[in-house]
Structure 1
Amino acid sequence: MADNHSFDAVSEINHSEMHNAVVQAQHECAVRYDFKGTRASIEFNKKDATLKIEADHKGQLETVIEVLKEKMARRGVPVNALIRGTVEDATHDTVRETLTLHSGIDSDDARKIVKDIKQLKLKVQAQIMDDKVRVTGKKLDELQQVMSYLKENGPKYPLQFVNLT
């Protein structure tokens, strides 16, 4: 039995599942009756982790985003990983919005997570490692308490717990 156990709290999404969700949303936009003959479209840039959504008007833009969120939820991609941008006017009387996919834990949030873990008064240590937080302790029960606390009181973007040893 190991002396110390640990896990990493990270914020990342499965890019292949996100790609599949985007392809499904693009297909639905192509075949839906209310989108026929419109400029409703979704472009996914994997390298930058951004989505460019274009539509004829703001109402249609919101509908396209809802279709995308539905496909993301069905594929198991956390919907709250989407960071909305500003709606801007595009060519030919259309509107465009750029959405960003959140990845990694922000440094301010990482410091808050470490502080919150220390306030739990458990015998665990938390340390910031790049864009993740590593939590170590002797008892698995205490690590599970930290996990459940972070699930309920963590940041507004999705957290995953990996490398539990």
Structure 2
Amino acid sequence: MPGGASPLDRSTLGGEGVARLMRMRPGSDAGIDGRAPCTPEHPEPTRYKEPQDMADSSFDIVSKVERQEVDNALNQAAKEISQRYDFKNVGASIAWSGEKILMQANSEERVKAILDVFETKLIKRGISLKALDAGEPQLSGKEYKIFASIEEGISQENAKKVAKVIRDEGPKGVKAQVQGDELRVSSKSRDDLQAVQALLKGQDFDFALQFVNYR
């Protein structure tokens, strides 16, 4: 061979390599298999891809309260009651009684005042008063008592109310599915999900709602 180059040994190329070399025309700009090489002027054509459906986005509607925050509010209320002059010598107290909260004093007016203090502390801890179910003052011996509980979870009846609002007033195509004591809202449009949240925030439900688990 000229220039001392060794002739190509077909045995070292293999059948596929030989076939490729045979398809390359000397003096042409074709690449392997006769295809023109990719250049800035002739980029490789974009391959067609089948369109894929967009996955739904979603969030959950829940009604939950952090027990620790309730406990913090109760302790702050108890501290204020112990220090205020208008609660001296009236048997005023607030404490847990099992799963309920017990407030007591020697007059109906004072036990209601204890409830007011507790509600103020709950609000400061970011807890909606819609989660607080407080009973009426009850006379027991010489004391008035108020029992209160913290409500969590969305009942089936309330879940239907929320779902109906979304169905009747929300954007079309938004789905609301009841899952136990929660609801899952889904849509292909994130804007529609935000519109649902704004819609529900404007409703006067008698129970607390939070939006969690964005996906």
Structure 2-normalised TM-score? 0.71
Residue ranges of structure 1 left out of the alignment (5+ in a row)? none
Aligned length in residues: 161
**Equivalent position amino acid for 2:196 in 1:** V
**Equivalent position amino acid for 1:132 in 2:** E
Percent sequence identity over matched residues?
A: 32
Alignment correspondent of 2:15: none
Please list, as runs of the form range in 1=range in 2, the aligned pairs for 1:79-98 lying within 5 A after superposition.
79-91=129-141, 93-98=142-147
Structure 1-normalised TM-score? 0.91
Q: Which has the higher contact order (CA 8 A, sep 6+)?
A: 1
Alignment correspondent of 2:182: 132
Alignment of 1:108 with 2:108, yes or no, is: no
Alignment correspondent of 2:72: 20
**Equivalent position amino acid for 2:136 in 1:** T
Alpha-carbon distance, 1:117 to partner: 1.0
Q: Structure 2 CA distance, aligned partners of 1:86 and 1:62?
A: 9
Runs of 4+ in 1 over 4 A off after TM superposition: none
Q: Structure 2 CA distance, aligned partners of 1:96 and 1:34?
A: 18
Alpha-carbon distance, 1:65 to partner: 0.7
Q: Report the structure, 1 or 2, having the larger strand content.
A: 1
Alignment counterpart, residue 205 of structure 2, candidates 149, 155, 161: 155
Q: Structure 2 CA distance, aligned partners of 1:122 and 1:3?
A: 17
Q: Which has the larger radius of gyration?
A: 2
2:119 counterpart SS class: helix
Residue ranges of structure 2 left out of the alignment (5+ in a row)? 1-53
1:136-157 C-alpha deviation (Å, 9 max, x unpaired) = 1111110111111111115212
1:38 counterpart SS class: coil
**Equivalent position amino acid for 1:52 in 2:** L
Alignment correspondent of 1:123: 173
Q: 8 Å contact 2:171–2:195 — kept in the other structure? A: no
Q: 8 Å contact 2:95–2:102 — kept in the other structure? A: yes
Alignment correspondent of 2:85: 33
Q: 8 Å contact 1:40–1:54 — kept in the other structure? A: yes
Q: Structure 1 CA distance, aligned partners of 2:201 and 2:171?
A: 18
Q: 8 Å contact 1:113–1:154 — kept in the other structure? A: no
**Equivalent position amino acid for 1:37 in 2:** N
Alignment correspondent of 2:3: none
2:202 counterpart SS class: helix
Report the CA distance shift for 1:42/1:19 in structure 2 as closer, same or farther (over 3 A): same
**Equivalent position amino acid for 1:103 in 2:** E
1:105 counterpart SS class: coil
Alpha-carbon distance, 1:80 to partner: 2.3
Alpha-carbon distance, 1:86 to partner: 2.8
